């Protein structure tokens, strides 16, 4: 077996691994606060976007959130089953009254998760996340 590449590579600098580590830590914080609502952070993001944009197509939502079609489909199905969203004119997604209610109930817990995450990352970490997000959007 040829192992010459093993000496020259350094997996500790892998950007993908670092992003996944950050995601796991931050997602665990949010998961703790969202647990009483039986909702995932991806589902909450969809609800938050729809609460601000009012109506979007599935494609618009997928592009905006950088989510694959299968992930969007799975999350939308669950949100539709719980009557948090509806499809208007067979294409446009919108929040239902129940959707607005759950968003209203979740906001204080989401704010707690935000504060805990901000405390963990400090101001420079939050600025770094904002910079990285700006680069991909």
Q: Is 56 helix (H, G, I), strand (E, B) or coil?
A: strand
Q: Pick from 86, 114, 81: which is nearest to 100 by CA? A: 86
| 29-75 pLDDT, tens digit each | 999 999 999 999 889 999 999 998 878 888 888 888 888 888 888 99
The domain defined by 19-136 folds into: Arc Repressor Mutant, subunit A (1.10.10)
Distance between first and last Cα of the chain: 42
What residues does each domain of the chain span?
19-136
The answer to pTM > 0.85 is no
- Give strand pairing partners of 88: 92
| 8-35 pLDDT, tens digit each | 778 788 888 889 999 999 999 999 999 9
* Distance from C-alpha of 111 to C-alpha of 19, rounded to nearest angstrom: 22
How many Cβ atoms sit within 10 Å of the Cβ of residue 88?
Answer: 11
Find how far residue 63's CA is from the centre of its chain: 13
């Amino acid at each position: 077996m040829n192992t010459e590449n093993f000496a020259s590579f350094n997996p500790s600098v892998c950007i993908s691994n670092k992003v996944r580590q950050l995601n796991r830590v931050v997602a665990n914080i949010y998961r703790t606060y969202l647990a009483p609502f039986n909702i995932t952070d991806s589902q909450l993001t969809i609800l938050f976007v729809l609460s601000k944009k009012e109506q979007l197509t599935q494609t618009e939502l997928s592009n905006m959130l950088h989510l694959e079609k299968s992930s969007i489909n799975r999350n939308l199905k669950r949100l539709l089953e719980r009557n948090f969203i509806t499809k208007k004119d067979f294409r446009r997604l919108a929040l239902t009254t129940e959707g607005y209610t759950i968003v209203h109930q979740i906001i204080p817990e989401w704010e707690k998760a935000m504060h805990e995450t901000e405390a963990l990352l400090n101001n420079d970490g939050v600025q770094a996340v904002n910079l990285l997000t700006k680069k991909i959007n």
